């Protein structure tokens, strides 16, 4: 038969997906992913137990960098580059620099957050083979889709079809690559 990306089972309850995924992992399946209309508690840990979350750390680093940058810009401006007597205030009026520092910090953090988030999701990526699954259209509405990809060593269509049906998948379909 022709190239396929994988096989999907469509469920109408999040619990079903979770159970199915748990079972498949126990059978040794690794290359699989679940597509749900809203975040399902613990699904990701279930699919990739070893993966750790880097984003918060990235954002924290960004915060530090942003703060440093913000304060430096202001010191450069008022102290190093062109020190001027402004209303008799000292050149390095650090209390006055705090606001700027704070805002720069937050801006950089959020920006890092957004871009980091997209990066870690491999977005933007306008095409993904899973879109070819005709059932996928409802994965963003009210269905829970579990997909085992063809690249999994122990990938075998009929076997998986049976497992999905056992866990109550209302539809099982192959996804063309």
Name the residue nearer to another protein (CB basis): 10 or 34: 34
Residue 44 engages another protein in binding (rule: CB under 8 A): yes
What are the residues whose beta carbons fall under 8 Å from the beta carbon of 80, sequence distance 6 or more?
none
Name the residue nearer to another protein (CB basis): 54 or 162: 54
What are the residues whose beta carbons fall under 8 Å from the beta carbon of 96, sequence distance 6 or more?
89
Query: Are β-strands 32-35 and 144-149 bridged in parallel, bridged antiparallel, or unpaired?
Result: antiparallel
Burial class (CB in 10 A: 0-12, 13-18, 19+), 148: buried
Question: Least distance in Å: CB of 127 to another protein?
Answer: 7
Binding string, residues 9-28; x marks residues near another protein by CB under 8 A? -----x--------------
Q: CA 135 from chain center: how many Å?
A: 22
Contacts 24+ apart (CB under 8 A), 69-72: 69/104, 69/108, 70/100, 70/101, 70/102, 70/103, 70/104, 70/105, 71/97, 71/100, 71/101
Site for another protein in 60-119 (CB under 8 A): 73-74, 76-78, 81-82, 84-90, 93, 96-97, 99-100, 102-104, 106-107, 109-111, 113-119
Name the residue nearer to another protein (CB basis): 137 or 176: 137
Residue 56 engages another protein in binding (rule: CB under 8 A): yes
Name the residue nearer to another protein (CB basis): 59 or 172: 59
Q: In whole angstroms, what is the distance from residue 140 CA to residue 137 CA?
A: 7
Q: In whole angstroms, what is the distance from residue 77 CA to residue 173 CA?
A: 63
Instruction: Rule CB under 8 A: choose which of 20, 24, 135, 139 binds another protein.
Output: 139
Residue 177 engages another protein in binding (rule: CB under 8 A): no
Question: Least distance in Å: CB of 172 to another protein?
Answer: 19
Residue 39 engages another protein in binding (rule: CB under 8 A): yes
Instruction: Rule CB under 8 A: choose which of 28, 49, 52, 141 binds another protein.
Output: 141
């Amino acid at each position: 038969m022709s190239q396929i990306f994988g096989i999907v089972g469509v469920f109408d309850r999040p619990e079903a997906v979770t159970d199915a995924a748990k079972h498949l992992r126990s059978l040794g399946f690794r290359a699989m992913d679940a597509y749900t209309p809203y975040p399902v508690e613990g699904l990701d840990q279930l699919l990739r137990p070893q993966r750790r979350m880097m984003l918060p750390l990235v954002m924290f680093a960004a915060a530090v960098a942003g703060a440093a940058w913000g304060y430096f810009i202001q010191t450069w401006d008022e102290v190093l580059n062109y020190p001027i007597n402004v209303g008799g205030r000292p050149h390095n009026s650090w209390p006055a620099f705090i606001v700027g520092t704070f805002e720069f910090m937050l801006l950089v953090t959020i920006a890092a957050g957004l871009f980091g988030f997209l990066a870690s999701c491999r977005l933007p990526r306008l095409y993904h083979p899973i879109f070819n699954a005709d059932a996928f259209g409802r994965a963003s509405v009210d269905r829970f889709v579990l997909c085992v990809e063809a690249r999994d060593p122990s990938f075998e269509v009929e076997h998986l079809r049976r497992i999905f049906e056992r866990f109550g998948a209302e539809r099982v379909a192959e996804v063309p690559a």
